């Protein structure tokens, strides 16, 4: 179906601002666009049929639901539980958190009364639990994942997989030794729009792709993790010592507990929070599942200079096999978060749940610019000879193609559904421990380069970042 820009905006309920952002101007309003609404995912379809989640009929091949527990029911843990309600193949049978209100919020998010505890290890002891969703702060991923694997559980661990290269390596080794299913939590890897992009990339239709660009820009205090501190936050409601188990000891500090992304003891700043989504998307679409050989970062801390450890502007250039990847994250400007694949035949832009492919004009053209220095006679002779050598009428580039996910599409539900399927079938997941580890190492390289003011190279022999 060929539509014009206006039709496409109406069909997908996207705004003109979003639409113009799609291709950074690649699709001008008024241009003809071949628009395709992608088929809903399995999770979404199942939800329609069964009503989904805790009350759903279940769609597994055996009819048995995966029994999972959720460790960490803060912002993301609650979102995961709400998304899991759309997935009829799993049932949450318990949660754990260090903060009293988050324990209650977790129950609310799942919507059905379930046991909840401060000590996650009591959940791992349960024999009726198949799998664990880990949504604690990044620096605690290693401990919780290793404990879950030691208890024989399969693991869905939030992104970025690791807080350090050593943490990631320990997790890869443990998952492999324990023969567990492990999925990292960059949900875009299961997104139907990303799957379409991967299909287009693999088809070779973009031609040679040697440059991929991505950014993640937002300008609100929330986007810079200046989250409000809940009024009841205190050492009485928060297990502060439990939080600090893998971090330097310090007096109770609510800002550090709720805004942990700002501090190097617990998070990795914009690289671990936001680059990881771009990098996972790029890995999944391009099929490049590797650590970059080099990374070079620059940036600054200006707008949100509130005592945090990380820059609010970070720009990094990566060398991946055959491809340069150029990322930035700017917390001072809301330019959105597109990923752009520059091919010799077409440019592909993915932005949110929309994908645009704009063919390049690659038809042969007679030289124009440098003929300005030629005499009229020499110019005419050149043009006559050129047209004689190129008798075919000029071709025009193909139509712009656009793909979008249906309204209300939730890739986190798909990502969870993929994990449950793997737990049941023991089949491999795309975003396994190696994929997740590679994406996380690239985040650590970005920070290494920024803080050491040097190019960060990857030494594959010692599995370490070097300056």
Ligand X SMILES: NC(=O)c1ccc[n+]([C@@H]2O[C@H](COP(=O)([O-])OP(=O)(O)OC[C@H]3O[C@@H](n4cnc5c(N)ncnc54)[C@H](O)[C@@H]3O)[C@@H](O)[C@H]2O)c1
194-198 contacts at long range (C-beta below 8 A, 24 or more positions apart): 194/281, 194/284, 194/285, 194/350, 194/411, 196/38, 196/355, 196/403, 197/285, 197/341, 197/348, 197/350, 197/355, 198/284, 198/285, 198/286, 198/287
Contacts of 139 (CB under 8 A, 6+ apart): 163, 246, 247, 260, 265, 266, 267
Q: Which two tokens stand for residue 186?
A: 């960059």
Select 98 or 197, whichever has its Cβ closest to ligand X.
98
Question: By rule CB under 6 A, what string of x and - marks binding of each residue 88-127 to ligand X?
Answer: --------xxxx--x-----------------x-------
CB of 268 to ligand X, least distance (A): 9
Q: Is the dihedral of CA 362, 364, 370, 373 positive or negative?
A: negative
CB of 139 to ligand X, least distance (A): 9
Are 53 and 62 a contacting pair, CB within 8 Å? no
The verdict on 195 binding ligand X (CB under 6 A) reads: no
The verdict on 77 binding ligand X (CB under 6 A) reads: yes
The verdict on 142 binding ligand X (CB under 6 A) reads: no
CB of 141 to ligand X, least distance (A): 6
Alpha-carbon span 89 to 421, nearest angstrom = 8
Question: By rule CB under 6 A, what string of x and - marks binding of each residue 23-62 to ligand X?
Answer: ----------------------------------------
Question: By rule CB under 6 A, what string of x and - marks binding of each residue 212-251 to ligand X?
Answer: ------------------------------xx--------
Range in contact with ligand X (rule: CB under 6 A) among 66-74, 175-183, 301-309, 365-373: 66-74
Q: Which two tokens stand for residue 392?
A: 């075919």
DSSP 393-425: PPP----EEEEEPPTT--HHHHHHHHHHHHHHH
Select 187 or 402, whichever has its Cβ closest to ligand X.
187
Position closest to ligand X via CB = 74
CB of 134 to ligand X, least distance (A): 8
Q: Give backbone dihedrals phi and psi of 352, rounded to 5 degrees, phi first.
A: 60, -130
Residue from 12, 159, 256, 328 touching ligand X (CB under 6 A): that is 159
Residues engaged in binding ligand X (CB under 6 A)? 71-72, 74-77, 96-99, 102, 120, 135-138, 140, 158-159, 185, 187, 242-243, 260
């Amino acid at each position: 179906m060929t539509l014009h820009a206006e039709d496409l905006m109406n069909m997908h309920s996207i705004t003109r601002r979003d639409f113009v952002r799609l291709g950074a101007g690649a699709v001008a309003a008024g241009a003809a666009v071949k628009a395709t609404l992608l088929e809903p995912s399995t999770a979404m379809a199942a939800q329609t049929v069964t009503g989904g989640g805790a009350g759903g009929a279940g769609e597994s091949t055996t009819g048995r639901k995966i029994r999972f527990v959720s460790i960490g029911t803060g912002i993301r843990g609650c979102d995961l539980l709400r998304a899991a309600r759309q997935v009829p193949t799993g049932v949450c049978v318990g949660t754990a958190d260090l903060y009293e209100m988050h324990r209650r919020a977790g129950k609310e998010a799942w919507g059905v009364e379930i046991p909840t505890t401060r000590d996650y290890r009591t959940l791992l002891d349960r024999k009726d639990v198949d799998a664990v969703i880990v949504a604690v702060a990044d620096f605690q991923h290693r401990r919780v994942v290793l404990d879950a694997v030691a208890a024989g559980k399969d693991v869905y661990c939030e992104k970025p997989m690791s807080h350090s290269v050593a943490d990631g390596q320990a997790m890869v080794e443990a998952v492999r030794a324990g023969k567990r299913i492990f999925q990292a939590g960059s949900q875009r890897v299961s997104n139907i729009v990303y799957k379409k992009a991967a299909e287009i990339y693999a088809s070779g239709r973009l031609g040679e792709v040697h440059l991929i660009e991505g950014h993640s820009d937002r300008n609100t205090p929330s986007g810079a993790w200046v989250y409000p501190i809940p009024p009841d936050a205190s050492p009485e409601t928060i297990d502060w010592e439990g939080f600090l188990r893998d971090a330097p000891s310090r007096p109770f500090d609510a800002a550090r507990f709720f805004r942990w992304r700002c501090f190097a003891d617990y998070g990795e700043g914009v690289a671990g929070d936001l680059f990881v989504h771009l990098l996972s998307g790029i890995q999944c679409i391009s099929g490049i599942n590797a650590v970059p050989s080099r990374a070079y970062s620059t940036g600054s801390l200006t707008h949100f200079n509130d005592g945090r450890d990380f820059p609010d502007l970070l720009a990094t250039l990566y060398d991946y096999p055959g491809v340069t990847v150029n990322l930035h994250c700017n917390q001072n400007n809301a330019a959105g978060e597109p990923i752009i694949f520059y091919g010799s035949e077409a440019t592909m832009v993915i932005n949110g749940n929309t994908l645009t492919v704009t063919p390049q004009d690659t038809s042969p053209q007679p030289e124009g610019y440098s003929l300005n220095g030629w005499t009229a006679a020499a110019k005419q002779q050149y043009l006559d000879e050129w047209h004689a050598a190129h008798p075919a009428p000029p071709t025009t580039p193909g139509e712009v193609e656009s793909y979008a996910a249906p309204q209300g599409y939730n890739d986190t539900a798909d990502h969870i559904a993929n994990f449950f399927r793997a737990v049941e079938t023991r089949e491999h997941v795309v975003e396994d421990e190696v994929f997740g580890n590679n994406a996380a190492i690239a985040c650590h390289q970005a920070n290494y380069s920024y803080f050491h003011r040097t190019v960060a190279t990857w030494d594959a022999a010692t599995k370490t970042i070097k300056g």
